[in-house]
Structure 1
Amino acid sequence: MSIIEKAASRIDHTRAPAPAPTVVEHDGQPIVLEPQGLAPAAEAAPPAVEPTPAAAPAPRVETPRVETPGVATPRVDKPGVAAPRKVAPKPGVRKVDLDLVRMREAGMVTAASGRTNLLEDFRVIKRPLLKQAFSEGTPGRPNNLIMITSSLPGEGKTYCAINLAMSIAMELDHTVLLVDADVARPSVLRTLGLPAQRGLMDILVDDKLDLSDVMLRTNVDTLSILPAGTSTPRATELLASSTMSALVNEIANRYPDRIVIFDSPPLLLTSEARVLAGHMGQIVVVVEAQGTTQHAVKEALRQLEGCSNVNLIYNKARDIPGIEETYDYHYG
């Protein structure tokens, strides 16, 4: 059965009410169904984390101290994958503090969340992605570059991208760079309650800027963020440029333990998503249960026919009577 038929069949048979957590099996794969951490209905105003009110102090952006950030020592050395190194940021590298308490209260994945159903869901989701991340991929498309997208806005792609990045940041032998590549409608910083800053588009426009000039270190030692940056009408051409190819190659290879998560625009609304997909080793399409039509999913997947590693997250699912909203994962 093709991935399009699987997605279409899945959508056709999910029209039931919601209520209590369980674990089910699908095509021999365990699926953790979770009653918490619902993805926001629309990314334009995610209920998960509201922007910091104007009266409140803005998140600190400061020059980090020269001391080495703490990173857990891996238990097992994997051949060909270097363990995360304790590297002191260069002077001038910017640091922001994520409000981890607010994120946890909003139902997002954090290290202090405890063993929640949401955390278990993303453990299931990330495992096959990590397994593929450092395997040999298509030339020019490293498998440690993972794009999170959707057919249309409001399906929860930014929420899934942030939670996936936070979950991978908890790994002992990986670091994560979360890139806001939805350059027309950036949502990552806003969802995290951080102000807009220079980022991806600024690097592509200004050849004097380096990645380190715009990348944000966070108080999660293994997580960094690359903002979308300044909006430009030439975004599609910039993403398709040789400068972007060189930047993607640098991002993928600068640190051998790094996983890079790209929060991309929706596939059916902009041309940027299709261009960005050409750089990616793995693609995850978020599908909203009871919201995304079969036609939209099929059209989105057709636009990814040149990509060999496409995965689906079935979001906000209520596919079994008595089960509350969950994440469901399929790959092919």
Structure 2
Amino acid sequence: MAITHDVPPQLDDLVPTAHRVREAIESVIEGKGDVIRLTLTVMLAEGHLLIEDVPGVGKTMLAKALARSIDCPVRRVQFTPDLLPSDITGVSAYNQQTMEFEFKPGPVFASIVVGDEINRASPKTQSALLECMEEHQVTVDGVTYPLDTPFMVIATQNPIEMEGTYPLPEAQRDRFTARIAMGYPEPSAELEMLDVHGGTSPLDKLQPVATTAEITALIAAVRAVYVSQAIKRYAIDLVTATRRSPELRLGASPRSTLHLIRTARAHAAMLGRDYVIPDDLQDLAVPVLAHRLLPSVEAQGQRRLPEHVMADIVRQVPVPEAQAR
């Protein structure tokens, strides 16, 4: 017997709203439709994004374009070696007039937090993001302050330059829902960039095309997208395969399974579906899982990146048969 469920009315608004935001970002970032689509998917899945690539390919520009496309509070943090945890979370300052300590919120109290070159800060400062990314709250001096919804951290880092940087701890990488690489633009897109960006920055003309209330409603709609038991088992099979692979010394965590399902829901919703299919998991397995994996010594010797191993796992794990919803 087919499973029936109610379709949230907000889901009908998701595709056109996501299309407006994507078009706004594409007016700034040329020829990166897949990257922009994944960025929106992570946002609607209540996740966080790590943009990892060489300098000058538009990592920070992408984060800024998304932030300006939505009418919501946005803060940018430039990570440096001397940055302190309190510079991110906030600090309790003594008010001489009231004779009491007052909490001064840090930049993390925003809907979108852009962390530029996150690997330039010390591990102690990086760890200041752990609680807010996972629990959507900040604890300072024993007092817990909740963060608003939506809340998204978009961090950038340069994987090539090692001098003066600190590798992200595994606990930090595991809290990022997905990792993407911008890649170099096509020659035609780069030529258009020279024409468009030559005089003024297109960010100056970018206007918000969605409100915080709209994004919050769409996030709630994504949570209601249907996931069958077969699809859930398929997600677990993919994650379990990473833990058993001889090419990996560290497999994906249970948190990654949850992130894979959440992003699959958002991916399906952006395609106009209110249910998840195996293709959604296959499209997202590499960007959602690969950055959490550590290759074995043998795999490193053969220059096998976690992305390659994850792609092979996706091809090898049996796909569940289609079932009635």
For this structure pair, what is the TM-score category when the shorter chain's length is used for normalisation? Answer: 0.3 to 0.5
TM-score, normalized by length of structure 1?
0.34
TM-score, normalized by length of structure 2?
0.34
